[in-house]
Every structure is written in C-alpha cells, then in structure tokens.
Amino acid sequence: MFIRITVLEFDPANAPVVERFWREKSRPSALSQKGNLGAKAFRVIDTPGKMIMVGEWESQKQADTYLKSPEHDALNAGLGPYLKGGLMRILGESID
C-alpha cells in the first residue's frame, strides 16, 4: 500500500469552500480512480486554514498516474484560487 499526504493552506475564512470542494469534487474523483483504496481529509485543529488530505493507493504508480491526469489538473485549477502558497506532499509506503 502507498499513501500520499497533501497539506493545504488557505485563508481560514475560505474553510467552508475548501471543505465543500473536498467533499463534492476532490474525494469523489480520487475514489473513482483505479487503485484508490481511500481518501480522507482532516482539519488541523491548532492551525486554522490548514487541512491534511490522505490518499491510500495500491501502488505509487497508480497514485502518480492520477496526480498527472487532466482530471486532477482540473481539480487543482478549481481549488487553486483559495490556497495560500504551494502544496506540501509527503509520500509513504507501507512497511507491513
């Protein structure tokens, strides 16, 4: 199993928009992809305006294919205006 963790930063006033975008667009898109095992998002409790998204994949290749897809590019374009700074991505592979 492979995970991709993405940390988003945005104006806390935009939290409802960012969270709705996740629930209505980003998560359904990820879940529809071949090899996706799950997608979750978490508010960072002590840092308003920060969210952590965790995608679980069968393999890094499948995660990378989605990350480079036109569908993912369109999601980034839709969410981009609400973000502050860049995205931080952390990659991990199961040791179990």
Domain regions of the chain by residue span: 2-93
| Per-residue tens of pLDDT for the chain, all 96 residues | 999 999 999 999 999 999 999 999 999 999 999 999 999 999 999 999 999 999 999 999 999 999 999 999 999 999 999 999 767 888 888 887
Burial class (CB in 10 A: 0-12, 13-18, 19+), 43: middle
CATH fold of the domain at 2-93: Alpha-Beta Plaits (3.30.70)
**Which helix (H) or strand (E) covers residue 91, if one does?**
strand 88-93
Which pTM was predicted? Answer: 0.89
| Nearest alpha-carbon partner for 82 in 5, 4, 19 | 19
